[in-house]
Amino acid sequence: MERPDLPALSPGMIRVALLVPLSGQFSDIGKGMLNAAQMAIFDAADESLQLIPYDTGGSPKTAKSAAERAVANEVALIVGPLLSVSTRAVDSVASAANVPVISFSSDRKVAGNGVYVIGFAPETEVERVMSYAADNGAKRFFVLGPRDSYGDTVAAEAKRVAKEKGLDHRR
């Protein structure tokens, strides 16, 4: 088990870990999320709440290590990580310590066992956009997207909605 790298938790204090990529490919996003979280803590003006940022580096291995450090530092909640692969890596550490996780992932498959997902679900977005367009006269849809799990999810949902509404669909 990780050793704590923060002083012991004072009575009445609540530590919240923020696991975001502060280095690596997604560091701009992570730094923006950290700034937003710090502003929210400042606005809350609750001195019993302590936000502790941890760098996930955008990788599952680093995210798991960050979660281990967070748990050792007696956090009550983990907010993050950003990516579903990192959320999967954090899940076992957090659930073993009975620490809930609020992930920014949009992949609903990582939810459960104390993990809650607050990212935008692509299925919901696709349905809304296509339904609105179809209700306003659109007949054909083309999906341009990456060939990865996110792109495949968007394409599958677009195909489902197109079939349901009798629309022409291509990827």
pTM of the predicted protein model = 0.76
Q: What are phi and psi of 80, to 5 degrees?
A: 110, -175
User: Could you give the CA distance from residue 96 to residue 74 in angstroms, rounded to a whole number?
Assistant: 13
List, for the chain, all residue ranges whose pLDDT scores fall below the cut of 70.
Answer: 1-2, 171
Domain ranges of the chain: 14-117, 122-170
Residue 59: what pLDDT? Answer: 96
Do the domains at 14-117 and 122-170 have one common CATH topology? yes
Domain covering 14-117, topology: Rossmann fold (3.40.50)
Largest CA distance in the chain: 62
**Number of Cβ within a 10 Å radius of residue 96:** 13
CA atoms within 13 A on the CB side of 75: 28
By the 8 A CB rule, do 56 and 66 touch?
yes
Instruction: Give the pLDDT score at 14.
Output: 95
pLDDT at 68: 98
Q: What is the pLDDT of residue 2?
A: 67
CATH class held by domain 122-170? alpha beta
